[in-house]
């Protein structure tokens, strides 16, 4: 059963790793150039909104973290799911890091979504025009990246649940936070 959970966790981590990389690359490589006046050109890139810059950095960092955790799953599956030594400490670290990466990714996704919504709708009080009226392809690609980011955050929440299950299997259900076998 332990090997099955590790394989499921590894599969989800591989899928979320690919989604995170896809999200970061979609945002990072997105740009569109428009001619404003006769020879004046304006290029829209992810650098125009700091929330998108932070979003790209967070997505790449989360992808690196999930790559490390995927390698942990592969190593444990290769030894037959048998965990030696004090695995409880590693399970706590994995659980807490999974929580932290999920929440930071969710926060960056929320900030990028809010900035993109502001670019799509504009703000009349500040006399900001709608950016997506001029740069439609840019906005559609950012929207697709935000959707991929949302999927990755949902899958990271499932991975965090698996991490919690793995951690709390070491503890007795009768006594709060008392290790089994003691």
pLDDT (tens digit per residue) in 64-92: 999 999 998 888 888 776 655 567 788 88
User: Is the pTM for the entire model greater than 0.75?
Assistant: yes
Q: 17-31 burial by CB neighbour count: b if 16+ within 10 A, else e?
A: bebbbbbbebbbebe
Strand partners, 34: 42
pLDDT, position 178 = 65
Alpha carbon distance 88, 138 (integer Å)? 46
Q: Which residue has the higher pLDDT, 5 or 108?
A: 108
For residue 56, CA distances in Å to 53, 80, 138 come to: 5, 36, 15
Q: Which residue has the higher pLDDT, 146 or 180?
A: 146
Alpha carbon distance 57, 46 (integer Å)? 12
Q: Is the pLDDT of residue 62 over 80?
A: yes
Residue listed under structure tokens 């003691």? 182
Q: Is the pLDDT of residue 162 over 70?
A: yes
Residue listed under structure tokens 């999930």? 66
Cβ proximity of 131 and 120 under 8 Å:
yes
């Amino acid at each position: 059963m332990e090997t099955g959970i590790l394989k499921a966790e590894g599969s989800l981590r591989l899928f979320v790793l690919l989604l995170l990389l896809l999200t970061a690359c979609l945002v990072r490589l997105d740009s569109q150039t428009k001619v404003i006046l006769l020879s004046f050109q304006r290029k829209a890139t992810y650098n125009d909104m700091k929330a998108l810059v932070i979003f790209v950095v967070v997505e790449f960092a989360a992808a690196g973290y999930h790559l490390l955790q995927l390698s942990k799953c592969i190593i444990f599956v290769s030894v037959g799911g048998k965990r030696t030594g004090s695995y409880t400490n590693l399970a706590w670290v994995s659980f807490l890091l999974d929580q932290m990466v999920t929440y930071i990714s969710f926060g960056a996704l929320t900030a990028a979504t809010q900035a993109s919504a502001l670019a799509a709708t504009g703000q009349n009080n500040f006399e900001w025009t709608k950016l997506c009226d001029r740069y439609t392809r840019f906005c559609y690609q950012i929207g697709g990246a935000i959707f991929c980011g949302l999927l990755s955050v949902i899958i990271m929440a499932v991975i965090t649940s698996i991490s919690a299950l793995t951690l709390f299997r070491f503890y007795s259900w009768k006594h709060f936070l008392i290790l089994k076998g003691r």
